[in-house]
Chains A and B, each alone.
Chain A
Amino acid sequence: NAGVTQTPKFQVLKTGQSMTLQCAQDMNHNSMYWYRQDPGMGLRLIYYSASEGTTDKGEVPNGYNVSRLNKREFSLRLESAAPSQTSVYFCASQASSYNSPLHFGNGTRLTVT
């Protein structure tokens, strides 16, 4: 049982390049989330998907897009990377009840130069 799997683990981009962060969960959870974690800032929500076929903006959505490909997979795309997007990105999933705990992947460490 892998839980939440994120790829890649590390990535270095130049300003203006694009990339997609992949996330898959095998717990049959309905909801999935993308967070970024920066020193001194805590975890901040970028986008979330309450169920397959729906996506909504979180606290810091600018510069990002998401796709809920199916119930298992939720990807995060940076169309034109900026140094301010240097961060650690975490994907999480959650069972149907929205006050049940989130289960996190181990993150993607992204550096934009």
Chain B
Amino acid sequence: EDQVTQSPEALRLQEGESSSLNCSYTVSGLRGLFWYRQDPGKGPEFLFTLYSAGEEKEKERLKATLTKKESFLHITAPKPEDSATYLCAVQASRSKLTFGKGITLSVRP
């Protein structure tokens, strides 16, 4: 059975304090690993897709990396507007996109 575990459940950072969010997964044949950002009262917003181990993607203060067992979302010098819930999902087939429970990030000014 495909599984996605995100840690920690919640993370509180000071503005400018860099950190990483973890997504550990087990899947039968990874087709893609996705990172989404979700703001309160909104739907998830797509950030990155990673397809193979060693791949990296960057967007502003965010950098996503992928190994055969886990993915990290690195946040460099975060700002309060980076506060959100970050979701990780792995896809093995069309009907099997498995989401983690999310990491709630709070960045204090």
Q: Tell yes or no: B14 within 8 A of A by CB.
A: no
Q: How far is the CA of A45 from the CA of B43 in the complex (A)?
A: 15
Assess the A99–B91 pair: CB atoms within 8 A. yes
Chain B residues in 8 Å Cβ range of A107: 41-43
Contact of A43 among B31, B42, B49, B87 (CB under 8 A): B87
Chain A residues in 8 Å Cβ range of B97: 45, 102
Assess the A101–B46 pair: CB atoms within 8 A. yes
Which DSSP category, helix, strand, loop or mixed, fits chain A's interface?
strand
Which DSSP category, helix, strand, loop or mixed, fits chain B's interface?
strand
The residues in A between 3 and 42 inclusive whose CB is less than 8 angstroms from any CB of B are 4, 31, 40-42
Chain A residues in 8 Å Cβ range of B34: 101-102
Assess the B102–A98 pair: CB atoms within 8 A. no
Given A99-B51, A105-B43, A107-B43, CB of A42 within 8 Å of CB of B101: yes
Chain A residues within 8 Å of chain B by Cβ, number: 24
Instruction: Using CB atoms and an 8 Å cutoff, list the residues of chain B in contact with chain A.
Output: 4, 31-32, 34, 36, 41-46, 49, 51, 87, 89, 91, 93-95, 97, 99-102
The 8 closest A-B pairs by CB, nearest first: A104-B43, A99-B32, A99-B31, A98-B94, A101-B46, A43-B99, A42-B101, A42-B99
